[in-house]
A and B are shown apart, each in its own frame.
Chain A
């Protein structure tokens, strides 16, 4: 089993739709969680950190469920510019550092 798993998609949604991605992780000692966005042939860029209480940034909402070991990302009112690959990241530090990316979920927002 992979340490961090995501549905690879692609998710094809119309403009204005709401779309949700989930990401599960296997290490219960994981400490920090992030969502990154990666455009085609570009480097990943931080979209948002994920906090235990959940957090929102404009149209984006991130949730963490430690008991079930998953994080989620909700995008409301999808824009064409949201088309990208969304990578979840899980980190842990116990003497040595680990920063684990999921394989990413591709989103395509259609006009």
Chain B
């Protein structure tokens, strides 16, 4: 077990709704990244937070947003859900500082499986 937890484990929503996914990072880790993994694909980087600031972003529209809290836990919010948002959403934490983040191993949580109907 990595010590990274995510909630909920499964979620079913309908198109147009909004969803909030949660992640608790491993103790001592100040950096959290979020990924979307569609079936049969590798994880796609959504964004990363370091000490409550967004530190990097992949090719996702603004309706994907996030937060990181002072205890380094994090939320991923998705507005105006679309059918293609159905995927496994993975959170990963790492101990890296801002400049060195790219060098650190990431520890993944078990994911939240989102189904949009």
B86 CB contacts on chain A under 8 angstroms: none
CB nearest neighbor in A for B31: A97
B56 CB contacts on chain A under 8 angstroms: 93, 96-99
| A97 and B48 in contact, given A32-B102, A43-B108 (Cβ under 8 angstroms) | yes
Contact string against A for B residues 89-113, beta-carbon threshold 8 Å, 1 for contact and 0 otherwise: 0100000000101110111111100
- Chain A residues touching B, range: 20 to 34
- Say whether B105 contacts A93, CB under 8 Å: no
- Which secondary structure characterizes the binding site on chain A? strand
In the complex, how many angstroms separate the beta carbon of A43 from the nearest chain B beta carbon? 4
Contact string against B for A residues 100-111, beta-carbon threshold 8 Å, 1 for contact and 0 otherwise: 111110000000
Interface membership of A1, Cβ < 8 A: no
B115 CB contacts on chain A under 8 angstroms: none
Contact string against B for A residues 73-101, beta-carbon threshold 8 Å, 1 for contact and 0 otherwise: 00000000000000100011100111111
User: How far apart sit A92 and B103, CA to CA, in the bound complex (Å)?
Assistant: 9
Interface membership of A26, Cβ < 8 A: no
| A103 and B48 in contact, given A44-B90, A46-B105, A98-B58 (Cβ under 8 angstroms) | no
A-B contact pairs, 6 of them (CB 8 A): A49-B105, A97-B56, A97-B101, A98-B102, A99-B33, A103-B41
Residues of A within 8 A of B (CB): 4, 6, 31-32, 34, 42-46, 49, 87, 91-93, 96-104
Q: Known pairs A43-B90, A97-B101, A101-B44. 13 more at Cβ < 8 A?
A: A34-B105, A43-B108, A43-B111, A45-B2, A46-B105, A93-B56, A93-B99, A96-B57, A99-B48, A99-B102, A101-B42, A103-B40, A103-B42
